[in-house]
């Protein structure tokens, strides 16, 4: 499974590119953080909450990557939370649903394409079958090996490099886009400070 580095990055990217769609929620925050950012990051990590039981019982490998790693569960959880948000404001249901669904399902899909896993229960509870991808994209974390293992250093290094490449790409392409659509700056109009301001009824020199 990819580490929290990848999942939280995806949660941030969902927030970054949904801000216009979620502009109606922009006035809400949790401390210094926008509430939309908090929710997208939490939902991007939510399937891994099953690991908490494994931590408490001392066997992460047994309890992690089960029913919570399901596209069906992600759909249901997103519908429930978006429905709750829609009670407050009906027009906010669809934006919240899309943002939450993308955040949650991104985790399931990323875990699906991770090397060394036992497969993902993509359609639980409809079926308990575990699906394995034809290609693998991530080295991932081996929870069955425990939390502290030298193998995870490769995971952290590779994922940190991926995140760096992603943000460099964003910086480059968004910079080009800003230059391409740059609004021309109006020429500066210099004002003689010894003369009265034209819109100042007092006529007092500044």
pLDDT of residue 185: 45
Dihedrals phi, psi of 181, to nearest 5 degrees: -105, 25
Residue 81 has a CB neighbour count (10 Å cut-off) of: 19
User: Domain ranges in the chain?
Assistant: 4-180
CB 109 within 8 A of CB 137: no
Block means of pLDDT (10 residues each) for the chain, 206 residues, are 85 90 71 89 92 73 81 96 85 90 95 79 93 77 60 75 89 81 51 52 50
Query: Among positive and negative, which fits the CA dihedral 72, 77, 79, 80?
Result: positive
Which residue, chain included where needed, has tokens 């991932």? 140
Q: Model's pTM, two decimal places? A: 0.75
Buried residues in 154-182 as b, exposed as e (16+ CB within 10 A):
ebeebbeebbeeeeeeeeeeeeeeeeeee
């Amino acid at each position: 499974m990819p580490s929290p580095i990848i999942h939280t990055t995806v949660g941030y990217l969902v927030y970054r590119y949904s801000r216009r769609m979620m502009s109606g929620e922009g006035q809400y925050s949790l401390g210094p953080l926008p509430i939309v950012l908090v929710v997208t990051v939490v939902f991007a990590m939510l399937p891994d909450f099953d690991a908490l039981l494994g931590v408490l019982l001392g066997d992460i490998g047994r309890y992690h990557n089960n029913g919570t790693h399901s596209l069906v569960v992600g759909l249901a959880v997103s519908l429930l939370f978006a429905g709750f948000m829609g009670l407050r404001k009906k027009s906010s249901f669809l934006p919240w649903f899309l943002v939450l669904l993308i955040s949650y399902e991104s985790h399931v899909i990323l875990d699906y394409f991770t090397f060394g896993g036992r497969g993902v229960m993509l359609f639980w509870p409809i079926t308990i079958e575990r699906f394995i991808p034809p290609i693998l994209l991530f080295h991932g974390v081996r929870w069955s090996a425990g939390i502290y293992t030298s193998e995870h250093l490769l995971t952290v290094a590779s994922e940190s490099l991926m995140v760096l490449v992603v943000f460099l790409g964003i910086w480059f392409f968004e910079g080009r886009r800003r230059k391409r659509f740059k609004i021309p700056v109006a020429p500066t109009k210099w004002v003689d400070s010894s003369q009265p301001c034209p819109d100042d009824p007092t006529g007092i020199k500044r």
